Structure 1
Amino acid sequence: MVSLAYSPDGSTLAVGTNEGPVRLWNVATGKPLADLTGHTSQVNSVMFSPDGKTLATGSNDTTVRLWDVTTRKPRTILREHTDIVHAVSFSPNGRTLATAGGTVVRLSDIDSGAALRTLPESEGTVGSVLFSPDGHTLATENGDGSVSLWDVDTWKLRTALNGSGNSMAYSPDGALLVIGDSYHYVQIWDVAAGAVRATLLGHTNEVASVAFSPDGRTVASGGLDHSVRLWDVPDRTVLTGDAGAVRAVAFRPDSRLLAAGELMGAVKLWDVASGKPHSTINHPGAVLSAAFTPDGGTLATGRWDSEVQLWDMASGKVSSTISVPADKVNAVAFSPDGTTLATGAGDGVAALWNVKTGKAQAVMGEHTAFVGSLAFSPDGSLLATGSGDHTARVWDVATGETRTTLTGHTDRVTSVAFSPDGRTIATGSYDRTVRLWDAATGKTRRTLIGHTSDVNAVAFSPDGRTIASGSTDGTVRQWDVESAKTRTTLLGHSDSVDSVAFSPDGRTIASGSADKTARLWKVALPAPAAAIKKICQSVNRNLTPEERMAYLPGQSVGPVCP
């Protein structure tokens, strides 16, 4: 058995063999119905027409045969190919057949068998061809490490995906294309964006076949490692930029907009619900950092040229500028009351600024290398900073003095975050680890190990139970805080993940990457009752506004903890 296909009604199974005959089986009884003889060599591909009346078969004998399923007789023999035919595919309307033979893809009329078109020759052997469910796109696997998407109306190349494989399948809505690869992995592509949505790792040998479930939520893959695997399709939106790496992502407090700061000088605002562009702030210079005020009315952006700009979100214009005496502003953060802005700069200095006057309130310069990240404690009394000197520091905001120094990382500390209860600080480092620290004592509580390259960003979920981390290894990991184990690894970025953020309602993780995309990942929240019980038991307090939004949307504002 080399190839197989079910009839549209599921009653008949067609099987292509090594010797040439195609065998039809009755699915209900498991008994053979007929052998279709004519091919003189291995049959590599079989496919029923959408109406189930015609069966197309492609063979090593270089021919394609169209069979009448009712009479089980050949209707047409297509002899245009001069090389092994690896794949056949019917258009959804059943009028056109795409066939791949050697480096050539041909289109033929089903009724007459006449040749309609030949696509430009591929650099490699075309392994598979597939029409999209709406019939407007033809995907061809080109044997050279690429998959081409062709516009069926114009037969012009729409885009080329950087992936190769033995089999392909569209999701039922045509929005996704899954490819099974000879390098042991499965990739799910966003067709419109031309970007990888997920890379599924687990097979230990070549992936020979892939398929979507009818509801589009599951991918099945079969490999030469003798395993069949079922994968959940990641619920994620790809936000494609056009101005360079995305270095900063920040949610507006209402969770409706995401700001994505790009290295080439733009801030893109995206509608979180739809994944569509909302507006663009034309930023004068590379955007290294971004943060919203607690009321969402102002966006602060840190620039490469030592300036912080405060943007009025209503008008989209600069309301004020703060000049930081350093070469670049790596990090910005607003205090919980929105009156103070903290900046971390390339000269190792963290500073506190009065938002209203733009004047410096405190300058904290004890780090011996750049300050790459900073975060306020939930009550605004403390500021955590991460530095290239391999340490993080916790500062008293009122005095500007160091409370404690967090030592233990063996390379630069790239990111810091306070837990929602203020008791724990998370840090990410180039030493590939995430550490959890007791904010009061400065002692390490846990070390999270799993990333295979630099950790560039960390963020706590609003309920404090999960940490998201982004790494140069191209992944986003979700960690369970209590067990210190990886909960989920989110795959899809094709380059370093430089920033991560949880939406205030806890339902979405945003990630920004050097691959010029930001991505939105849906988060599976714990059951409301379990989450509320955990919060009440752990911190002995009522729900915060963010937790209430996540677990009790639309309910009264009364206390929920006993």
Structure 2
Amino acid sequence: MPGHRRIASGRLPESGSVLAVSPDARLFAVQIAGAGVRLWDATAVRWTAAPALPADTADVRFTADGRAYAADRMADDTVTLRSVAGGRPLLSTRALGLADVAPSADGGRVAVCPAGRRTPEVRDTASGRVLPGHWTAVADACADGDTSMLVAGEGSGHRFAAVTAGAIRVWDTGSGDQVAEIADAHVSYAAFSRDGAFLATGDGQELRVWRLSDPETPVFRRSLNNQHLYGGLAWDPRRPELRYLEGGTVHTLDLGSAVGPGWRADPVSDVRFGPDGRTRATVRLVGDDYVFQLYSTRAGSPGRTLPPVRLPVSSDPSAPVLAVDALPLMAFAPDGSAFVYGVSAPGADARTQHFTLWDLRLGRARATLDLPGRAVSTLALGPGGRTLYVSRPAGYEEPSGEVRDEVWDTGRGRRTAVLDGMASTDLAVDPGGRLLVGDGRTARLPSGRVSRHDLVQGEEVGALAFSADGALLAAGDQTGRVALWDGALKRRAGVLRNVFPGPLGDTPEAVSALAFDPDGRTLAVGGDAGTLQLWDVQTLQPLGGPLTTPGERVDSLAFSADGTTLYAGGAHVPFQRYVITPEQAVARVCARAGGDLTRAQWRTYIPDAGYRKIC
């Protein structure tokens, strides 16, 4: 409970060992020597009317609502589901153990891996009818020696999962359809959220939470740090919290935005934050049009829809550009004064590609540029929005594999230079407009002189960011490495260690977004699997653990002007807000503890600092 206080007590029988406890801690399944297993009501302080179970009962498990219980008998591998009220049998089947039987929260449906069968079946306990479903097509879901367990959903979703050594498969017992397949091996425990939208899993190394509508990567990961799970995982019925028992202590994890309601089924095509943290830009495909919108990051501020942009016009009339094949692009000036947006046509030559320069201070369009030719793949704006830098893939007449980078004067609407040898698809301009940084190359401005520069040990760049004063550059790569440089790129200031957790598969998490706070002392690093971590620039050490995110790729990051708030955005949750002040952290600790920590709690959670009252 949130108050960490005893809410009830009761007396157990004088003899016998407890096999199981109901979720409300009222009923206890007690094994009595020579007399079998009986149910004890701790509130009424007496045995219930349910008949005793056989003496060779090996295990008992209550359903989530506490109205039924399953019992496993060793003699003949029989598992029986009974009603708590009177002990009436609801279903009896042969299975290897309770791990192969998963009753729904109300006991109305039961998923079973019958002994000797390779596929599960789902039964309606009221009628005894076997329900149809696609789980019958999975030949190895109940293979002997391979199945770890079956898990039923607690809420109204009526979902169940077959957890095997190779993967987890989830089905909906109402429709019979497979909902998700998760590549999570060696799972020891699993539990559905009450609404059936998430599945928590645990093994010997870490806990993970998976969004079943998008199960490619977990939305939450937590290292167990050599802790050993006892008794499985449990979701709080009212809060976004997950609990587990270890070493006699109940641990509670606040999942926050990882399972929050902000997830949108219709993702935006892209999201970008202005470098000063005041403005957020999104673009989404609506019908045959890309709609660009600007929002203030102040709470409750309405959005502004920008003038529409036309699709590029193909130079080949027989191959017109379709909206679903086009690429929306946008970029902010490093001083936050201007914003450019438009649409290109990947893989095509265009007669026109329109881009609009929007003045953020005056709230109106300042210029429109037409960039004909090969598709534009990247945009970058110089200070004040006076200069636009673009990258284009090589045309058929150009050397294979090369990228051409161009400089455009936004005031005159014409190209002023081609940066020979830049060949970069990732571009960033320093706040002073003196340096353009790309993929292992830099261009001195305004001369355009290009030189090679190994930013992140030769790996492909994933994100670039300058500090507000231009004194530092951060470069992240596709392997999760981040290197820090002085703003002139003459000296490497350091490399961040272990930016992201270890990969679940063969591919490490790539750096997808970077941002410095206004004073350049803190760096936020976002990954393409949803990890978000703050780093102290001077010590090159992480600040706390990873921030909780919705678990999708972090597309953009920015700090507020006062440095107290971090903004993050992704396709399904384009606006995430994190208050990162020490005062906020203290307030959360006090709220969680219900007041000042005791000295014992302080020694457990803050052993490196001396005790003091903070609430």
- TM-score, length of structure 2 as denominator length: 0.63
Judge conservation of contact 1:193–1:238 (CA < 8 Å) in 2: no
Q: How far, CA to CA, are the matches of 2:411 and 2:290 in structure 1?
A: 23
1:544 aligned residue = none
Q: How far, CA to CA, are the matches of 2:52 and 2:385 in structure 1?
A: 76
Q: How far, CA to CA, are the matches of 2:159 and 2:32 in structure 1?
A: 27
Q: How far, CA to CA, are the matches of 1:53 and 1:431 in structure 2?
A: 50
Matched residues, number:
494
* C-alpha distance 298-330 of structure 1, shift in aligned 2 (>3 A): closer
* C-alpha distance 255-354 of structure 1, shift in aligned 2 (>3 A): same
Judge conservation of contact 2:63–2:107 (CA < 8 Å) in 1: no
1:525 aligned residue = 579
Judge conservation of contact 2:337–2:384 (CA < 8 Å) in 1: no
2:210 aligned residue = 189
Question: CA offset at residue 178 of structure 1?
Answer: 0.9
Judge conservation of contact 2:326–2:346 (CA < 8 Å) in 1: yes
Q: How far, CA to CA, are the matches of 1:309 and 1:456 in structure 2?
A: 30
- Offset from partner CA, 1:28-85 (integer Å, 9 cap, x none): 8999999943274532x511462x44323245543232445465xx421633436544
Which is richer in strand? 1
Q: Where do 5+ consecutive residues of structure 1 fail to align?
A: 512-516, 532-562
- 3-state SS, counterpart of residue 479 of structure 1: strand
Q: How far, CA to CA, are the matches of 2:21 and 2:584 in structure 1?
A: 45
Q: How far, CA to CA, are the matches of 1:116 and 1:131 in structure 2?
A: 18
* C-alpha distance 339-56 of structure 1, shift in aligned 2 (>3 A): same
Q: How far, CA to CA, are the matches of 2:34 and 2:458 in structure 1?
A: 61
2:556 aligned residue = 501
2:406 aligned residue = 351
Judge conservation of contact 1:84–1:101 (CA < 8 Å) in 2: no
Are 1:12 and 2:35 an aligned pair? Answer: no
Paired residue type of 1:343 = V
* C-alpha distance 249-242 of structure 1, shift in aligned 2 (>3 A): closer
Are 1:485 and 2:541 an aligned pair? Answer: yes
2:8 aligned residue = none
2:415 aligned residue = 360
Paired residue type of 1:361 = T
- 3-state SS, counterpart of residue 384 of structure 2: coil
2:62 aligned residue = 47
- Offset from partner CA, 1:267-313 (integer Å, 9 cap, x none): 79799999xxx999965757496425757875245664487652699
2:114 aligned residue = 101
**Aligned counterparts, 1:48-63, within 5 A:** 48=63, 50=65, 52-59=66-73, 61-63=76-78
The match for 1:291 among 308, 314, 331 is 331
* C-alpha distance 9-41 of structure 1, shift in aligned 2 (>3 A): closer
The match for 1:233 among 246, 252, 255 is 255
**Aligned counterparts, 1:101-250, within 5 A:** 101-102=114-115, 103-110=118-125, 114-117=128-131, 119=133, 120-121=135-136, 122=138, 123-125=140-142, 127-133=149-155, 135-143=156-164, 145-163=166-184, 165-181=187-203, 184-195=205-216, 196-202=218-224, 209-221=232-244, 230-233=252-255, 235-236=257-258, 249-250=271-272
* C-alpha distance 184-527 of structure 1, shift in aligned 2 (>3 A): closer
* C-alpha distance 300-444 of structure 1, shift in aligned 2 (>3 A): farther
Question: CA offset at residue 176 of structure 1?
Answer: 2.1
1:371 aligned residue = 424
The match for 1:446 among 494, 498, 506 is 494
**Aligned counterparts, 1:259-270, within 5 A:** 259=283
* C-alpha distance 179-115 of structure 1, shift in aligned 2 (>3 A): same
**Aligned counterparts, 1:326-345, within 5 A:** 329-345=376-392
Q: How far, CA to CA, are the matches of 1:114 and 1:529 in structure 2?
A: 58
Question: CA offset at residue 364 of structure 1?
Answer: 3.2
* C-alpha distance 216-374 of structure 1, shift in aligned 2 (>3 A): same
Paired residue type of 1:155 = G
Q: How far, CA to CA, are the matches of 2:32 and 2:445 in structure 1?
A: 75
Q: How far, CA to CA, are the matches of 2:536 and 2:410 in structure 1?
A: 36
- Offset from partner CA, 1:185-211 (integer Å, 9 cap, x none): 432111333453123333659867222
The match for 1:76 among 89, 92, 113 is 89
The match for 1:416 among 464, 467, 470 is 464
Question: CA offset at residue 460 of structure 1?
Answer: 0.9
Judge conservation of contact 1:302–1:329 (CA < 8 Å) in 2: yes
Q: How far, CA to CA, are the matches of 1:59 and 1:482 in structure 2?
A: 62
- Offset from partner CA, 1:351-376 (integer Å, 9 cap, x none): 32123554113433354xx3132223
Question: CA offset at residue 235 of structure 1?
Answer: 1.7
* C-alpha distance 88-433 of structure 1, shift in aligned 2 (>3 A): closer
* C-alpha distance 15-257 of structure 1, shift in aligned 2 (>3 A): farther
1:434 aligned residue = 482
Q: How far, CA to CA, are the matches of 1:87 and 1:76 in structure 2?
A: 18
Percent identity over the alignment is 19
Q: How far, CA to CA, are the matches of 1:87 and 1:394 in structure 2?
A: 63
Q: Where do 5+ consecutive residues of structure 2 fail to align?
A: 1-15, 312-321, 394-401, 503-507, 586-615
Judge conservation of contact 2:471–2:487 (CA < 8 Å) in 1: yes
Q: CA RMSD in A?
A: 5.2
